[in-house]
Structure 1
Amino acid sequence: MQASGFLPILKRIDQSKIFQGFVIFVIVVSALSIGAHTYQLPLWLEKSLYILDFAITGFFLFELVIRYMASDSNKAFFSKGWNIFDTVIVIGSLLPVGGSTILLARLLRIFRVLRLVSMVPELRMLINALIKAIPRMAYIGLLMFVIFYIYGAMGSMFFAEINDFLWGDVSIAMLTLFRVSTFESWTSIMYETMEVYPLSWIYYLTFIFLTTFTFLNMMVGAVLDVMSEETQLMREQKQAAFEKQQAEAGIVVEPKPAVATEADIAKLNAKIDELTELLKAQQK
C-alpha cells in the first residue's frame, strides 16, 4: 500500500522517541485548551484557542496518517484496537463546532485527552489489564450482589420497624448496606438498631468483613493477577520487537551461554570424584 522507499523512513518517524514525545506534548496542550474553554476569557484569547484547536486537530490527523502509512498493511493497522480508537477520535474531531453537531464535536474533543493512554505503553497495559479483568470481576460482583441481597432481605425484615426510610424494602436496604460498606456514617445506623436489637452489631460486622475486606481484596487480586500477565506480555513484545529490529539491521546476536545449575555442578563434582578414585586405584 505504501512506496517501499518511504516505508522505512515513516517507520523511523513513527517509532521515534522525539516524535512520540511531541505527540504527548500536543495531547497535554489539547487537554489544557479544552479546560480553558470552560472559563470566561477575553475575546482575543477565545479566538486564539480556536486557532490552536484547529492546529491541534490538523496535527493529530497528520500523526494518524503517518502511523497508517508506516504500517505494513490495512489489516495490520486496523487489527490494533488503539488505532481504531485514535481514528474515531481524530475523525470525530474534524466535525465543525457549530450547529446541531456542536455537542458531539465538543465531546469528541474532550475524548482526545484519552489519546494519552494510546500513546503511553504503560497506560495501555493498565487499561488492557483492567478490561481483561472485567470477566473475573463480574463473577466477584455477582457474588457480592448475592450477599447484599441476603443481608438486605434480613435487614428489611428486622429493622424496617425501626427506620422505614433506611430499611423499608429490600432495594432500599441494599442501598443502606452500600452506604455501610463505604463506611459513610455507618456507626449511626448500627447504634440506632442496637437500641432495639443489642446484638445487631454482629449483622453489621459480618457484612463489612465479607464485602469490604474479603470481596474488595478479591477484586484487587484479580486485577493484579491480570496486570502481572500483561506486564510479562509487554516485556515479551518489546523483546520480540528488539530482535526484529536487529534482524532487519543485519545484526546477529550470539545466544547466551547456558548457565550451570546447582544440579549440574553437583553432577560434575561427582564425576571428578569418580575420576580421582580411578587414578588413585591405577597408581596403587
Structure 2
Amino acid sequence: MSTIQKVVNHKYFSNIVISLILLNAIVIGIETYPNIFEPNKGLFHKIELIFLWAFTIEIALRLIATKPWYNFFKSGWNVFDFVIVAVGHIFIGGHLASVLRIIRVLRVLRAITVIPSLQKLVAALFRTIPTIGNIMILLSLIFYVFAVIGTTLFRDISPEYFGSLGHTFITLFQVVTLESWASAVMRPILVDAPWAWWYFVSFVLIGTFVIVNLFVGVIVNNVQEVAVICEKPELEETEEQQEPVSLETEVSNLRKEIAELKDIIVSLDKNKTQAP
C-alpha cells in the first residue's frame, strides 16, 4: 500500500474532511448576514478559496490513491464529490454570485459521502423509490377523487379553499399535514354544511393515518434491509479472519495428541521389554 493510500484510508483523514465541511457550512451561513458579509467580502472570498483548494487536494489524493484511477468514478458518491468541487472552480471567478452560493451550499451534502451511516440511510431511501412511486400513485388518485368531490360540494361555501381544483389540492395538502385543518378549514364549513364532517374525517383517516404510515413503514423496512446487507460483508470478513486462527489451534492440538500417543507407545514398549 502506497503512502497516499495510507493517508486516505486513515481515520483522521475522514475526520479532517468532515470538519472542513462543517466549517464551510458555518461560513456559508454567516455570509447570509449582510451586516457581517458586506464589510468583509474580501476576507470571505479568501476563506472560500482556502476551502475550495482544500477540497480539491482531498479529491486529488483520493483519485491518486485509487488503483486504477478510473475506478474512482465507478462510485456515485465519488462522482458527486468531483462534480461539486469542479463546478466550484468553474464559477469561482464569475459574476453569478447566487449560482456560486447554491453550489457552495451543496458541499454540505458531501458529509453524506464521508459518513458511512449516512450513506446507509441514503441508500435505504433510494431503495424505497420504486415502492414509494406506487404509493404516490395511490395517494394521487385519492387526492384527485377527494379534490373533485370537495370542489363540487364546497365551491360556493368556501371559495378561498375549494373555489377551483387547484385550490382544493392545496387545501387537501394542508389537511393531510394536519396543520390547522379543523379550526381553519373544517369548522367554518360546518357552519353552513353540518354534514361535511364525513368528508374531512374520511380524508384524514385515509390520507394521513393510512397512506403516510405506508411511507414510514416502507422506509423503515428498507433501512433494516440495507443494515443487514451492509453487515454481511463485515461478518464474512471476521469469519475469514477467524478461520486461520482456528486451524492453527487445531493443528497444535493434534500435534500435542500425537506426542502424547508416542509417549504412551514408548512406555508400553519399555514395559514389554522389562517384563520376564
Give TM-score scaled by structure 2 length. 0.79
Which of 225, 228, 240 is matched with 2:221 structurally?
225
Query: Which residue identity does 1:231 align to in structure 2?
Result: A
| Residue pairs, 1:268-283, within 5 angstroms | none
Structure 2 counterpart of 1:17? 11
Relative to structure 1, the CA distance from residue 134 to residue 53 in structure 2 (aligned partners, 3 Å threshold; closer, same or farther) is same
What is the distance in 2 between the residues matched to 1:218 and 1:147? Answer: 14
The SS at the match of 1:99 is coil
Deviation at 1:100, TM superposition (A): 3.8
The SS at the match of 2:244 is coil
Deviation at 1:42, TM superposition (A): 7.5
Structure 2 counterpart of 1:33? 27
Task: Give the share of equivalent positions with the same residue, in percent.
Answer: 29
Structure 2 counterpart of 1:197? 193
- Compare the two structures and name the one with the higher helix fraction: 2
Tell me which moved more, 188-197 or 215-224: 188-197
Query: Which residue identity does 2:154 align to in structure 1?
Result: F
Which of 213, 219, 242 is matched with 2:209 structurally?
213
Give TM-score scaled by structure 1 length. 0.77
| Residue pairs, 1:122-137, within 5 angstroms | 122-137=117-132
Which of 162, 166, 179 is matched with 1:167 structurally?
162
Deviation at 1:16, TM superposition (A): 0.8
Contact 2:30-2:37 within 8 A present in 1 as well: no
Structure 2 counterpart of 1:83? 78
Relative to structure 1, the CA distance from residue 195 to residue 37 in structure 2 (aligned partners, 3 Å threshold; closer, same or farther) is closer
Structure 1 counterpart of 2:56? 61
Deviation at 1:199, TM superposition (A): 2.4
Query: Which residue identity does 2:24 align to in structure 1?
Result: S
Structure 2 counterpart of 1:72? 67
Query: Which residue identity does 1:180 align to in structure 2?
Result: V
Query: Which residue identity does 2:161 align to in structure 1?
Result: L
Gaps of 5+ in 1: 1-6, 256-284
Tell me which moved more, 229-238 or 76-85: 229-238
Number of equivalences: 245
What is the distance in 1 between the residues matched to 2:150 and 2:38? Answer: 59
Deviation at 1:178, TM superposition (A): 1.5
Contact 2:150-2:168 within 8 A present in 1 as well: yes
Relative to structure 1, the CA distance from residue 101 to residue 162 in structure 2 (aligned partners, 3 Å threshold; closer, same or farther) is closer
Contact 1:64-1:87 within 8 A present in 2 as well: yes
Structure 1 counterpart of 2:174? 179
Question: CA offsets, 1:49-96, max 9 Å, x none?
Answer: 322222221121111111111112234211100000000011112235
Structure 2 counterpart of 1:149? 144
* Two-structure CA RMSD over aligned residues (Å): 2.5
What is the distance in 2 between the residues matched to 1:229 and 1:73? Answer: 31
Query: Which residue identity does 2:76 align to in structure 1?
Result: G
The SS at the match of 2:228 is helix
Deviation at 1:34, TM superposition (A): 1.5
Deviation at 1:119, TM superposition (A): 0.7
Contact 2:155-2:164 within 8 A present in 1 as well: yes
Structure 2 counterpart of 1:277? none
What is the distance in 2 between the residues matched to 1:238 and 1:74? Answer: 26
Question: CA offsets, 1:9-32, max 9 Å, x none?
Answer: 222211111111111111111111
Structure 2 counterpart of 1:254? 246
Structure 1 counterpart of 2:274? none
Query: Which residue identity does 2:218 align to in structure 1?
Result: A
The SS at the match of 2:192 is coil
The SS at the match of 1:94 is helix
Gaps of 5+ in 2: 248-276
Query: Which protein is bigger by CA-based radius of gyration?
Result: 2
Which of 27, 43, 47 is matched with 2:42 structurally?
47
Relative to structure 1, the CA distance from residue 18 to residue 100 in structure 2 (aligned partners, 3 Å threshold; closer, same or farther) is same
What is the distance in 2 between the residues matched to 1:43 and 1:159? Answer: 51
